[in-house]
Amino acid sequence: MENELTIIAIILAGLAVNYLWVYPKIAGDDVRKMAWLDAALSLLVFGIVAIFFFGSDERFNLLGFETNWAIFTLVVGVVIELPLFYWYLKARGLGNQYREAFGFGARDKETNWFTSTSVKSVEKQLNDTKWDGLRTPKAKRILVIGSNLVILFGTGFLFGVGDNLWSSYAVIHIILIFAFWFLLRQSVRLVADAPDAALDERMIAERDRSYFEAYRLLGGLILTLATALMVFAIISDARNTSVDAFYYNLELTWPQVQGLFWITFGYAMMLPSMAMAWRQTRRQQQHL
């Protein structure tokens, strides 16, 4: 029970810092900044817990079920913070603003809830010049190729590294995925994720074409993973001579689960922007 209390104490200490200082002083009434700070600080708390228990064989009691430190931290953190976050937003009068900022409860479809892209943010990007350095053909090619290299290298590394200290690369992997996703979105001015209300007919057609290409690419990725699973089953059947030939032991480490999740998340969120950036690159080259 001592280990469980240690993790709960770390979580509570992190939440105290968030709600008593970080959110009021840094985020203020900016709900988007608040959401990003919440994600970053939650990751920091998880990292602090990992310092104490990473690589440990200790089992943690979670409502009668035994689990490892990572699952215990995630579940307890979510259970404690969700009601706190709800009451904080309610007390500050930010509930409606938060829901509308991320597309929940928006009445006029002015926000893409999946990517939390609003009409206001797209209109701002369409007139933006700060990120023009990312909008050249060369920069877009680098971003698309770099994004794929980050995702594929990170996934392969996490699958091969084993459950040891090197698996902490998962934190760097996650940061890189979000960084490249942000830069890709800036390079295409958020058009790939924009709601209809923010775009004219030409941009809507371009966005829809990018989503069509992204759909085919994501379908290819899912088919590849499904094919790998089928090959694993066939090989297992060929090697297994027992009567239980149709039962498979597929053992995954925590880093491997992370690799599977983040390759799926990365491509699901980034492929529309990747497809649009690559199409724009080819079109820009044709006009040179």
One domain for residues 159 and 76: no
Task: For residues 76 and 1, state if they share a domain.
Answer: yes
Residue 251 within any structural domain of the chain? yes
Task: Say whether both 137 and 88 belong to one domain.
Answer: no
Please count the structural domains in the chain. 2
Please tell me whether residues 146 and 214 are part of one structural domain.
yes
For residue 279, give its domain range. Answer: 129-288
Output the 3-class SS for 133-201: HHCCHHHHHHHHHHHHHHHHHHHHHHHHHCCCHHHHHHHHHHHHHHHHHHHHHHHCCCHHHCCHHHCCH
In this structure, the answer to whether residues 163 and 85 fall within a common structural domain is no
Q: 133 and 239, same structural domain? A: yes
**Position 106 in a domain:** no
82 and 144 in a single domain? The answer is: no
Residue 253 is assigned to a structural domain of this protein = yes
Q: Is residue 97 part of a domain?
A: yes
- Written as one string, the DSSP assignment of 246-268 is T-------HHHHHHHHHHHHHHH
- Tens digit of pLDDT at every position of the chain (288 positions): 678 889 999 999 999 998 998 888 888 888 878 888 888 888 888 888 888 887 777 888 887 778 888 888 888 998 998 898 889 888 888 887 777 666 555 444 555 555 667 777 788 888 888 889 999 999 999 999 999 999 999 999 998 887 777 778 888 899 999 999 999 999 999 898 888 888 889 999 999 999 999 999 999 989 998 998 898 888 877 777 666 656 777 778 888 888 999 999 999 999 999 999 999 898 877 765
Shared domain check, 174 and 276: yes
Quick one: which H or E segment has residue 26? none
Place of tokens 């760097």: 172
Model pTM score:
0.67
Instruction: Say whether both 181 and 144 belong to one domain.
Output: yes
Torsion of CA 40, 13, 34, 42, to 10 degrees: 30
Say if residues 283 and 210 touch (Cβ distance below 8 Å): no
The answer to whether residues 178 and 287 belong to one domain is yes
CB 78 within 8 A of CB 13: no
Of 83, 101, 119, which marks where a domain is finished? 101
Indicate whether 6 and 62 sit together in one domain: yes
Verify that 82 and 172 share a domain, yes or no: no
**Does 210 reside within a domain?**
yes
- CB-count exposure of residue 197 (10 Å: 0-12, 13-18, 19+): middle
Instruction: Flag whether 286 is in a domain.
Output: yes
